[in-house]
Structure 1
Amino acid sequence: MTSTSTHGQLTLPGQAAAPDGPVDLTPMFLMHHAFRRDLTAFADAVHRTPAADRTTWQALDLRWRRFAEILHHHHSGEDDHIWPVLVGAVDTGGSPEDCATLEAMAAEHAEIDPMLVACARGFAMLAEREDEAARVALEADVTRTRDRLGAHLGHEERDALVLVQRFLSAEDWARMDKQIGSDYPARLIPFSLAWVMHGLPDHGRAAAVGFLGRPALMLWSLAFRRPFERKERAAFRYVAG
């Protein structure tokens, strides 16, 4: 299926591409921005946080678990609801290169998973005790994860989302988005809303409000923003800037 209708797609710092087409990819790009932002902050925090500062490491450990949980749901949603539908469409009307792109998406998720586990182990260890060797090892693990996930997000933006625009309609995407949203635990909603809004440039915040709606903006502004930012300051207290 091919469509000539387009949206003015959102472009955020670090983003590799914003393919035009019938699908509004705003929620995907908001998530990608938050993943990139987090991994940059985590890498800086692990480098700068003294191994002896137990309180900060405990805050970082909790924050990593939240990050990893959202990333897990994001990747699971793609693997369960997006890529299988695209594989069926590409098998009918795509090329071998299109098939290879979709195979790579799942393979890259599988490659990233053990990196996340290694990082979680390092944060948990430093939350329990001072260990400079563990801090150095964790710095390498987080840096490796940042670089690998960043490469995956770029690959997805440049190539896989082009297939979304070629083979899916806005109605297809809305149905998938509803399925993916239903898989998210309700307890994650306050954190997720504050998390995705955090650090957005003005045009990104406006796009988020347009997608999420005014009631979500009010919840974020009045109830979720300040507790989130207070915890951010505790976890990333040594991060530059």
Structure 2
Amino acid sequence: MSTTVQQQKQVDLPGQTYAAEGPHDQTGMYVMHHAFRRDLARFRSAARNTPIGDVATWRLLGERYGRFASTLHHHHTVEDDVYWPVLRRAAAERGVPGDLDAVSDNSDEHAEMDPCLDLCARAFAEMAEHPCEDHRNALDLRLAGLAELLLGHMSHEEHEILPLVQRVLTHEEFMDVEKTIGKSYNGKDIPFIVAWAMHGLPPADRDRMFALAGAPYRVLHALFRRGFERREARTFRYADQP
């Protein structure tokens, strides 16, 4: 007797380039991508619009960029260490020619981004320490380079890797990976991650994420949202609002 696999309707968030239909609810991945896209846009806008002499805001931007970069690095590290090994095995067993190359190419893109992340961090530090138009222009160029890499990478992931996940992973494999990734975050970082990931989500998608992540996620968001949003307002005070 055959078993019918229920297809999950995926979220379709601002900036998202593709929704991979299939049996697995990939809301968590799309929410992370939404947050990275949102941050990129706000950093680029803030870099262009923040007055050169407002050193306090440049320092806040540099600190906030550090949280963005460390969150992105962690996201890519757990994909390389946890997600992609399971995906490679599943693709080797159930996939088609080219699937393994797609996973390897995606991981290579992670490595390409690390030097660019470091260059942007240095550019923010230089702007805070020695604010001038030359340093602002350098920062703008570094962020443009990061945006080109990261936006292209997330589009590649949404068009190729997430459909591959839908096609070759079993429900048990997918859920095991999701649980392992959920446990990989440092406890002290979780309040920031929750408030950061939910910030700016459309209400229906925020409720869907709450339903998926469980009651503790909703409680953490309620406790830390206002503090996060106050700091965001100060940090991105000169950025165009989304």
TM-score by length of 2: 0.94
Q: Deviations over 1:31-65 (max 9, x none)?
A: 00000000010010111112221100110011001
Mean CA deviation greater in 173-182 or 145-154: 173-182
Determine helix, strand or coil for the equivalent of 1:96. coil
CA distance, structure 2, for counterparts of residue 133 and residue 98 of structure 1: 44
Q: What is the CA–CA distance in structure 2 between the aligned matches of 1:105 and 1:112, rounded to whole Å? A: 11
Write the distance in 1 (CA, Å) between the matches of 2:211 and 2:67: 25
Match in the other structure for 1:9: 10
Q: Deviations over 1:114-138 (max 9, x none)?
A: 1101001111122222132111111
Contact 1:3 1:166 in 2 (8 A): no
Is the aligned partner of 1:29 residue 2:30? yes
Residue type of the alignment partner of 2:169 = L
The answer for unaligned runs of 5 or more in structure 1 is: none
Q: Distance in 1 between matches of 2:58 and 2:33?
A: 25
Distance between the aligned counterparts of 2:121 and 2:164, measured in 1?
33
Q: CA deviation at 1:113?
A: 1.0
Deviation at residue 69 of structure 1 after TM alignment: 1.0
Q: Does the CA-based 8 Å contact 2:8-2:21 persist in structure 1?
A: yes
2: distance between equivalents of 1:96 and 1:144?
32
- 3-state SS of 2:98 partner: helix
Q: Distance in 2 between matches of 1:234 and 1:3?
A: 51
- Amino acid of the structure 1 residue aligned with 2:144: T
Q: How does 1:58-77 map to 2 (within 5 A)?
A: 58-77=59-78
- How far did residue 215 of structure 1 move? 3.4
Contact 1:194 1:228 in 2 (8 A): yes
Q: Does 1:117 align with 2:118?
A: yes
1:227 partner amino acid: G
Deviation at 1:169, TM superposition (A): 1.9
> After the TM superposition, which of the residue ranges 57-66 and 98-107 deviates more from structure 2?
98-107
Question: Partners of 2:123 and 2:51 in 1: how far apart?
Answer: 14
What is the match of residue 161 of structure 1?
162
1:7 CA displacement: 0.8
Q: 1:220 to 1:131 in 2, by over 3 A?
A: same
Whichever residue aligns with residue 234 of structure 1, its letter is R
> 1: distance between equivalents of 2:4 and 2:67?
38
Partner of 1:215: 216
Give the Cα separation in 2 of the matches to 1:37 and 1:170: 30
Instruction: Number of aligned residue pairs: give it.
Output: 239
Percentage identity across paired residues of the two chains:
45
Partner Cα separation in structure 2 for residue 3 and residue 147 of structure 1: 40
Once the two structures are TM-superposed, the CA of residue 3 in structure 1 deviates from its matched residue by 7.2
SS state at 2:118 partner: helix
Residue 218 of structure 1 deviates from its aligned partner by: 2.9
Aligned to 1:144: 145
How far did 1:11 drift? 1.1
TM-score (structure 1 length as normaliser): 0.94
Secondary structure of the 1:209 match is: helix
Unaligned runs of 5+ in 2: none
Q: 1:15 is paired with a residue of what secondary structure?
A: coil
Matched, 1:100 2:101: yes
Q: Letter of the 1:229 partner, please give it.
A: E
Aligned twin of 1:240: 240
- Residue identity matched to 1:228: F
- The 8 Å contact of residues 86 and 173 in structure 2, kept in 1 or not, is answered as no
For 1:80, the equivalent position in structure 2 comes to 81
Residue of structure 1 in register with 2:198 after alignment: 197
- In the alignment, is the contact (CA less than 8 A) between 2:191 and 2:224 conserved in 1? yes
Distance in 1, matches of 2:147 and 2:205, equals 22
For 1:156, give the aligned amino acid: E
